[in-house]
Structure 1
């Protein structure tokens, strides 16, 4: 009878098979997302003109970045909550939309991010970032969307 020793290749300490980019971390991923969002808003590079020329794609990038900011925590979370708070306080003016619930705010911000034909690039990015945060605060179907996007992003980090 022969005894065989088997050596299995294992990942480095701290890494797992679910990490797509290695041990990047959520904060680093949030910083990269922020840089990509700024580059997409400026629209000066060939790749951003190719993928984010449509304002809806830009709003989608901003919404995913908002979700990423919330799950990254720390300063990123405060930045995202500040953008959401600014958008929400503007929209919940009693003369505009009085008494909007968190789910209503998610609906309003998502509508403003994706439906209008914006001429400038800042509004869809602003409302998209606010919408990504609002999805997490609203719960229900919005919360499911937030969790799905968040879990995919956590797999990258």
Structure 2
């Protein structure tokens, strides 16, 4: 029988019981997400060929990474906003689509991420990352999706 004052498992210093991976931190989780995204875009690993051969999971990974960048803040947020602003400015040029709202932009990024049959791996990754960022800006159901994903990632870190 185990004595009552024995601790069988204790979290690391700074970790709490609500953290899924211990005291990793959002910035470290963002760096890991970025590395996984780069590996998935390159598609040289047998795991990426197995799980990301279809480009829709790659777009989901990019969208989750975009949300993670936004909640991590700092340089990660600047990187995500830069990718989002570049894709948004290309789509919302006055001669292409004028007067697009943030919710409309989130819808456009969703469509561009998941519906076309892309031949290359970079476009769904860029549009997916931009979709994750634009969900936070758009609000409504897009914002709920952003907040639920962000809350899960915050609990994981």
Tell me which residue corresponds to 1:130: 130
Kindly report structure 1 stretches of 4+ aligned residues shifted beyond 3 Å: 8-13
* C-alpha distance 35-12 of structure 1, shift in aligned 2 (>3 A): closer
How many corresponding residue pairs? Answer: 153
**TM-score, reference length from structure 2:** 0.94
Matching of residues 6-155 of structure 1 within 5 Å: 6-7=4-5, 9=7, 10-155=10-155
Post-superposition offset of 1:34: 0.2
- Rg larger in structure: 1
* C-alpha distance 11-108 of structure 1, shift in aligned 2 (>3 A): same
Deviations 1:50-89 (A, max 9, x none): 1111110000000000000000000000000000000110
Q: Matches of 1:140 and 1:100 in 2, distance apart?
A: 16
Three-state SS of the structure 1 residue aligned to 2:35 is helix
> What value does the CA root-mean-square deviation take over the aligned residues?
1.3
Which structure 2 segments of 5+ residues have no match?
none
Q: Matches of 1:48 and 1:116 in 2, distance apart?
A: 20
Q: Matches of 1:83 and 1:77 in 2, distance apart?
A: 10
**TM-score, reference length from structure 1:** 0.94
Which structure 1 segments of 5+ residues have no match?
none
Q: Matches of 1:46 and 1:55 in 2, distance apart?
A: 15
Q: Matches of 1:130 and 1:91 in 2, distance apart?
A: 12
